[in-house]
Amino acid sequence: MEILAPAGSPEALVAAIKGGADAVYLAGKDFGARASAQNFSDQELEGAVKYAHEHGVRVHVTVNTIVKNSEIAQAVSFVQFCKDIGADAVLIQDLGLLKAIEKIPIAKHASTQMGIHSRAGIEWCAANGISRVVLARELTLDEIREIVKDSPIETEVFVQGAMCYCMSGGCLFSSIVGGRSGNRGRCAQPCRKRYETADGDSAYVLSNADMYCIDYLEELERLGVTSVKIEGRMRSPAYAYLTSKAYSLRLKDPGSPELEPTIKLLKTVFNRGFCHGYLDGVQNLVQSTYPDNRGQFLGKVTVSNKRFPTAGLDVGIKDGLSLFRGNEKVGGFSLLTEGTAVVPFAIPNGEYELYRTYDPRIDEVKNTFGPIPKFTGSVKRCEKVVDLPRADRQVSRTELSFYVSTLKMLETVLPYADRIYYDGADIAAAAELCSSKKKELVYNLPRLTPVEPEIPEGVAVMVHNPGQYHRYIGERRVYCSYIMNMFNSAFPLEPYQTTLSVELSRADIRDLCARYPGRLEVMVFGRIELMLSRDPHLKNGSIKDEKGYVFPVYRDRMDYGHILNSSDLMLFDVRKELERYGIQSFGIDVRKRPAQLAELVGKAFRTGSETDIPKIRQMCGGTFNTGHYLRGV
């Protein structure tokens, strides 16, 4: 089984290789999901691939952001460049880009951002030129066991590093609220911020502890997993070295006397608390006390006259220690005496939490890297032309699609709807109601379906990932949701209708419509879903950020947690413009909203009358937003 390590910089690349990684993953200056990492210029990338191959290490290049029509030729050119310099694989999220590079003879891996979490997802990948899939981080060990059994392609599982709170590929929090898209590599990490819950508690309620799954390597290997992945392209070269070494030793030489000292240093070099992800089952992974690296927690100590005993604590001379009281860092110092620690600053007597933030052996680790070679190359990118022909789109009456969760709300909006996206209970009753009014019912699938639910025959489905698409296409009418991240007109799937990504701007939508022949929908009203999480601890209600914005939270029938935007998207004023672009349907989300509001919104969009817009605005808290329509990402 392969140990795959992060290389966010040339120094980290060398460190990971010297640590024993079998393969590394890295990015160029564009199209990587960690745009804030140092990353590699084209010349550095060429030199890095050569250096890695000279040391018997494979190189996977991340091209795992979503791309616009205006960028797709550049992205294809970069993938061709990766092939030309001998990179072993590219990681892809964008389905249109995957289609555009299908003839470039380089291994293609499905990024975890593609949302592959089922056997059907693996089958879709195998049928579409993908040789390896990075499974969604939300899966349990039992679910992985069923998915990878006799898999037709390679599989990769995250085992170490940051654990996103939102389900893979569907986070819009940073994008919608902060204007920095995680799907475009610029996540502002809103999950690491403090929020106040509805019951008045203030904590880091969305901040997961880091994955630390070194004890699962043997089981994952037995299951047939091809590769285990270490997250951390934003972290230090020492982290890249220590994680590579610890995981390589555990897998290949578990009796090595170097293993435990390496693990100890790993827990010091970066530590925001550890968890096993969801491998143990669906559980609370949140470490709500602090979101950042505090080093290794050693225990609680009682300080008296600026001293506390160190007997029984795992500390050594010159270790860097920090004292905390709850969220407040009281101070840090270097341990200079044995038996008793002397705090070199004024401190009240009392109990404190003690963390080790530095071990002098980390400097020794850095010295093992040796001089970092200057990575250079001479291969130039060749320009690529991607044919995105213009489409003959007809302007017609725009249909209205309503997202609802209850039969009562379904009845409320049915007079205004052409179709209903339904995710509530009793699908059969919902189908009968819609049929009686000659309206279409579309069952809105849960976003995570390791096992697909039973759906009455003939009922259409809304899907959110390639696996769900693969499972239902050809069997019934299929709709693709905005979680499919359709961002360009090379989108290769052929559903009945696709909802465009909510991250597209006016210009992006206009260009995409001009070049895509299929049916398209745009979200025009509702609180956009910012996050969907498997975390079981977040309660119904709301969370409030430090600026005072309140984000509704609810749990669904699957016990998944949904976090919605603080205000409603409203594109009533540009509906005619969208119709001219050739948009065939408007999406209206009225889940968890008052029936009166839903009726007013339905009436406004059906009649085109502005009469009720002031009332709608008032019922929405006095404000609307236009999402990314006027700003984009």
Averaged pLDDT for residues 409-414: 98
Are both 225 and 354 inside the same structural domain? no
Predicted local confidence at residue 120, as pLDDT: 96
Handedness of CA 575, 580, 583, 584 (dihedral sign): positive
Residue 533 lies in a domain: no
Residue 543 lies in a domain: no
Averaged pLDDT for residues 323-339: 94
Predicted local confidence at residue 298, as pLDDT: 96
d(CA 27, CA 64): 9
3-state SS, residue 31: coil
Q: Domain containing 255: what range?
A: 2-163+208-275
In angstroms, the Cα distances linking 410 to 77, 570, 591, 615, 620 are 48, 21, 10, 21, 20
Q: What is the pLDDT of residues 188-228, one digit of tens each?
A: 999 999 999 988 899 999 999 999 999 999 999 999 999 99
d(CA 413, CA 405): 12
Domains identified in the chain, total number:
3
Residue 171 lies in a domain: no
Q: How confident is the model at residue 33 (pLDDT cuts 50, 70, 90)?
A: low
Residue percentage of the chain with pLDDT more than 70? 100
Give the contacts of 296 (CB within 8 A, at least 6 positions apart): 264, 267, 268, 271, 355, 356
Residue 375 lies in a domain: no
Q: What is the pLDDT of residues 587-608, one digit of tens each?
A: 999 999 999 999 999 999 999 9
Averaged pLDDT for residues 530-540: 95
Are both 157 and 92 inside the same structural domain? yes
Name the pairing type of β-strands 132-134 and 154-161.
Answer: parallel
Residue 37 has pLDDT above 80, yes or no: no
Are both 228 and 315 inside the same structural domain? no
d(CA 543, CA 537): 13
Name the pairing type of β-strands 227-230 and 154-161.
Answer: parallel
Residue 307 lies in a domain: yes
Are both 268 and 306 inside the same structural domain? no
Are both 240 and 313 inside the same structural domain? no
Residue 34 has pLDDT above 80, yes or no: no
Averaged pLDDT for residues 547-571: 96
HSE-CB of 244 using CA atoms within 13 angstroms: 29
CATH code of the domain covering residue 512? 3.20.20.70
Residue 328 lies in a domain: yes
Are both 327 and 454 inside the same structural domain? no
Residue percentage of the chain with pLDDT more than 90? 92
Among 125, 86, 97, residue whose Cα is nearest residue 32: 97
Are both 214 and 338 inside the same structural domain? no
Tell me which amino acid residue 362 is. I
Are both 301 and 269 inside the same structural domain? no
Are both 363 and 484 inside the same structural domain? no
Residue 203 lies in a domain: no
pTM equals 0.95
Q: Which residue has the tokens 């009533």?
A: 572
- Beta bridge pairs of residue 221: none
Are both 151 and 260 inside the same structural domain? yes
Are both 264 and 312 inside the same structural domain? no
Residue 301 has pLDDT above 70, yes or no: yes
Are both 229 and 318 inside the same structural domain? no
Residue 521 lies in a domain: yes
Predicted local confidence at residue 141, as pLDDT: 97
Residue 32 has pLDDT above 80, yes or no: no
Instruction: Compute the mean pLDDT over every residue in the chain, rounded to the nearest whole number.
Output: 95
d(CA 154, CA 330): 48
